[in-house]
Amino acid sequence: MSALLATLGFVVAAWISFTALASLIVSIAWQVLAPRLHAAHPRQRASFALASAVAPAVIPVLLLVACLVPSLAGLVDARGDHCLAHADHPHLCLLHAVGALDAPGAVLLVLTLGALVLGLTRAWQRVRRAQLLLTGLRQRAPRAPNGHVVRVRSSLPFCFVAGLLRPEIFLSSRLIDALESGQLEIVLAHERAHQARRDPLRRAIAEACSLALPAAVRRSILGELALASEQACDEEAACRAGDRLAVAETLVAVERLSQPATGSAMALLPAFGASDIPARVHSLLDEPPVDRRPGWIRKLAAAILLLALFVGADPIHHLTEHWLRLFF
C-alpha cells in the first residue's frame, strides 16, 4: 500500500510541475499577445481567451500522458520495459512501484488532495447558489417556459442566459415593459447568440481550468473572455437587426435601467447589460470587424501538438524523472 501511495505521490508531483510550467507559459504568452488582439473579431478573441484559460489544465494532462507512454509500452512488449534499463532512480511508471512513501511525498499528497477538495467544495457552493437563484426565478414565471425563454415577474430589469447543457433565457417583466418591441427583439437576439455559443458552459470551463494561473492574469483572461463573448453576441444581434446603431442604443437604454446584480451567482451569467458597456458601444459604432476564422489552422496546431507529444514522449519522460529526483 505504501509503495502504491509513493507511486501516486510521484505522479502527483509530476502533474504539479507540469501545471506550474503551463501556468508560467500561458502567463507570459498572454502578456505578450493580449495587447495585439484588439483588432481581431470578438469570436477570435473569445476563442483565444478560452484556450488560454483551459491550457493550464489541459497541457499538464497531455504531458503526464506522454510521460506514461514509455512505461506503458511494457504492457505490449516486456522487452521494451524502460524501467529495467534505468534502475538507478525512481520511475514515473504505473507498472513499477517507486518505493516506500516518504515524508515529502506524504505531505505532497495531503496538500494536493486538500486543495482539490477545497476547490471542489467552493465550486459546488457556487453552483448550488446559482441553482437556487434560477429555481426562485422559475417559480416566479407566470407560465411554463416557451422557446427556452422564461418570463419572470420582477421589478428588476434583467435578461440573461443560464444553463450549461440546456441554456435558457431569463427575461424579466420589468425589462419587457420598459423596452420598445424593436429593442426587446435585439435583446433576445443577443441572448439567443449566447445560447447558440453555449457561453455559460464556456465560462464555467474557463473558471474551473484557470485556477492555477496567477490572480492578475486569470482576471485579465476571464475579463477578456466575458467582454469578447458579449461583443460577439452584439455583432450577431446587429447582423439580425441590420442596424448597429440600434444595438448600441439598446445597450445604453438597458444600462440606464440596470441595478446591481441580485447575487454573486448572477454576476457570472451572460447578461445583456453585463461587461464593459462603453467598450461594447464603441465597438458597435466602429466599422464591423472582419471575421477571419481559418479553422484548419486550429486543427493543424492541435495535430502538431499531439504528434510532438507522442514523438517526444521518451525525452519528456526522462527529463521529468530527473527533475523529480531533486525532490524524491
pLDDT for 206 beyond 60: yes
State the burial class of residue 314 (Cβ atoms within 10 Å of its Cβ: 0-12, 13-18, 19+). Answer: middle
Look at 50 and 108; give whichever has higher pLDDT. 50
Assigned C-alpha cell, 137? 426565478
CB 324 within 8 A of CB 92: yes
Q: Which of 32-41, 72-81, 151-160, 198-207 has the highest mean pLDDT?
A: 198-207
| Mean pLDDT score, 90-113 | 66
Name 292's bridge partners.
Answer: none
CB proximity list for 268: less than 8 A, separation 6 or greater: 126, 130, 203, 207
pLDDT for 7 beyond 80: no
CB 320 within 8 A of CB 92: yes
Longest alpha-carbon distance in the chain: 76
DSSP-derived secondary structure for 232-295: HHHHHHHHHHT-HHHHHHHHHHHHHH----SSTTGGGS-BTT-S-HHHHHHHHHSPPPP----H
Q: List the beta strands (DSSP E) in the chain.
A: 149-152, 159-162, 168-172
Q: Which of 110-114, 208-212, 219-223 has the highest mean pLDDT?
A: 219-223
Report the distance separating Cα 165 and Cα 167, nearest Å.
Answer: 6
Assigned C-alpha cell, 30? 498572454
pLDDT tens digits along 33-56: 888 888 788 998 999 999 999 999
Report the distance separating Cα 170 and Cα 89, nearest Å.
Answer: 59
The pLDDT assigned to 321 comes to: 73
pLDDT tens digits along 244-287: 999 999 999 988 887 554 444 454 456 666 668 889 999 898 88
pLDDT band at 88; cut points 50, 70, 90: low
Report the distance separating Cα 43 and Cα 232, nearest Å.
Answer: 6
pLDDT for 84 beyond 60: no
Q: Is 270 left (phi over 0), alpha (psi -120 to 50) or beta?
A: beta
Give φ, ψ of 156 to 5 degrees. -95, 135
pTM for the whole thing? 0.81
With residue 163 as reference, give the H or E element that holds it. Answer: none
Return the amino acid letter for 101.
L
Provide the 10 A C-beta neighbour count for residue 323: 14
What is the average pLDDT value for the chain, to the nearest integer? 79
The pLDDT assigned to 274 comes to: 63
Quick check: helix, strand or coil at residue 180? coil
Lowest mean pLDDT among 50-64, 87-101, 239-253, 291-305: 87-101
* 168-172, strands of its sheet edge to edge: 149-152, 168-172, 159-162
Q: Which of 132-146, 154-168, 205-219, 313-327 has the highest mean pLDDT?
A: 205-219
With residue 64 as reference, give the H or E element that holds it. Answer: helix 42-72
Percentage of the chain with pLDDT > 90?
31
pLDDT band at 186; cut points 50, 70, 90: very high
CB 74 within 8 A of CB 321: no
The pLDDT assigned to 264 comes to: 44
Quick check: helix, strand or coil at residue 146? strand
Distance of CA 41 to the CA centre of its chain: 19
